[in-house]
Structure 1
Amino acid sequence: MKAVIFDFDGTLADTLPVCFFAFQAVFREFDNRELTSEEIKAMFGPSETGIIRKNLMNNDYEKAIELFYEKYNGEHQNLVRKNEKINNLLRRLKKEGYKLGIYSGKARRSLDISLKCLEMDHYFDVVITGDDVKLPKPHPEGINRALKQLKVSHDEAIFLGDSDADILAGKHAMIHTIGVQWLPNYQTIEFSVQPDEIYSNINDFNLFLTELSI
């Protein structure tokens, strides 16, 4: 194995609460609708801007998108905590020479906010966002693009994610898939398509890495 590619929300960072908060603010302000976290989660797939354009009844999309980012950025420090175990994992992977990538359905703007706030922006060799692909997960376009930029083949990398769409995208890209449920908030309780492995504890994934290097 030469490369590790991660999803972001619910996989590398517990950002789902701030995503829900920002979306709820947008739909409340522009549509006078109160949405639950589950209702918002059901919209996931496109980037945040895509979600707003697809689901908002009010067509003042640009103002709604700006409100989303205002709320996302403004509440990030309050709703998203740094996770030292995640940072230790990324440091270990870098130290051991793995190439690291992110493929997230998030828009570039919100991902950049999160990476900067969490001081994670220096770890990754490639970052693919929802803005960079024509076809979102579960299509494998983003994973294939990351593999190409990392200059590794599908059998030299693994992809970690917390949703059915992540695992399906990995399967379609013929890459080893790992489902993770190690953060307080994640998208899928039970995967409809079984990942090659599932980890609910970062320590167990560290053991997996140790066994690979033996």
Structure 2
Amino acid sequence: MKAIIFDFDGTLADTLPICFYAFQAVFKEFDNIEVTSDEIKAMFGPSETGIIIENLIDSNHDKAIELYYKKYAEKHRELVLDNEGISDLLLLLKRDGYKLGIVTGKASRSLLISLEFLNMNDLFDVIITGDDVDIPKPHPEGVNKALEQLSIKNTEAVFIGDSEADILAGKQANVHTIGVQWLPDYQTLEFSVQPDQMFSSVHEFIQSLTNYRYEQL
């Protein structure tokens, strides 16, 4: 195993609350409607820009997109708390020599805001955002691009995510898939397509990696 590739929202950071907050502000401001978290979650797939373009009735998409990023940034520190367990995990993986990647449906602009706030800027060897693909997850394009940029085979990577789309993308890219529910907010309660492994805590995952390394000795 050479690389560990992560989804971002709900996997590496508990960013779903800030996403919901920003989208709710946009739909209230431009369409004057209240949207629920579940309704927003059902829109996930494209980047935030794509979600607004596809779902906002008001045609003033550019202003709506700018409002989204304004709201996303202004409440980030309040709504997205640092997670010491995730930070320790990433540093441990780097120390152990794994290549690290992100494959997310987020736009690069919002991802960079989050990475900055969470001090994760310099941890990843490859980042594929929703802006970098033609077809979002569950299509495997993003995962395949990450593998290509890392110059590794699919048998040398795992893909970790909290949503059905993550697991489907990983399966279609023929990588080992890991479903996680280790943050307070995650996207999928039950997977219809079962991941190769499931973890409900970061500690469990670290223990699994430790056992894997011993087996390779």
Q: TM-score range by the shorter chain?
A: over 0.9
CA distance in 1, matches of 2:28, 2:192: 32
Q: Which residue of 1 aligns with 2:37?
A: 37
Residue identity in the other structure for 2:62: E
Residue identity in the other structure for 1:194: Q
Work out the number of aligned pairs and report it. 214
Q: 1:31-67 CA distances to partner (integer Å, 9 max, x unpaired)?
A: 0010000000000000000000000000100000000
Per the normalisation by structure 1, the TM-score is: 1.00
Residue identity in the other structure for 1:210: T
Q: 1:73-124 CA distances to partner (integer Å, 9 max, x unpaired)?
A: 0000000000010000000000000000000000000000000000011110
CA distance in 2, matches of 1:88, 1:151: 26
The 5 A counterparts of 1:62-77 are 62-77=62-77
Q: 1:166-201 CA distances to partner (integer Å, 9 max, x unpaired)?
A: 000000000000000000000000011100011001
Q: Which residue of 1 aligns with 2:104?
A: 104
Q: Which residue of 2 aligns with 1:23?
A: 23
Look up the SS of the partner of 2:57 in the other structure. Answer: coil
CA distance in 2, matches of 1:140, 1:75: 32
The 5 A counterparts of 1:46-195 are 46-195=46-195
Which structure 1 residue ranges, 4+ long, deviate > 2 Å from structure 2?
none
Q: Which residue of 1 aligns with 2:198?
A: 198
CA distance in 1, matches of 2:10, 2:21: 15
CA distance in 2, matches of 1:84, 1:157: 24
CA distance in 1, matches of 2:77, 2:201: 24
Q: Which residue of 2 aligns with 1:3?
A: 3
The alignment's C-alpha RMSD in Å is: 0.4
Between the aligned residues of both structures, percent identity stands at 65
Per the normalisation by structure 2, the TM-score is: 0.98
Q: Which residue of 2 aligns with 1:14?
A: 14
CA distance in 1, matches of 2:206, 2:132: 30
Look up the SS of the partner of 1:54 in the other structure. Answer: helix
Look up the SS of the partner of 1:30 in the other structure. Answer: helix
CA distance in 2, matches of 1:198, 1:24: 31
Residue 15 of structure 1: CA displacement? 0.2
CA distance in 1, matches of 2:59, 2:94: 44
Q: 1:145-181 CA distances to partner (integer Å, 9 max, x unpaired)?
A: 0001111100000000000000000000000000000
Unaligned runs of 5+ in 1: none
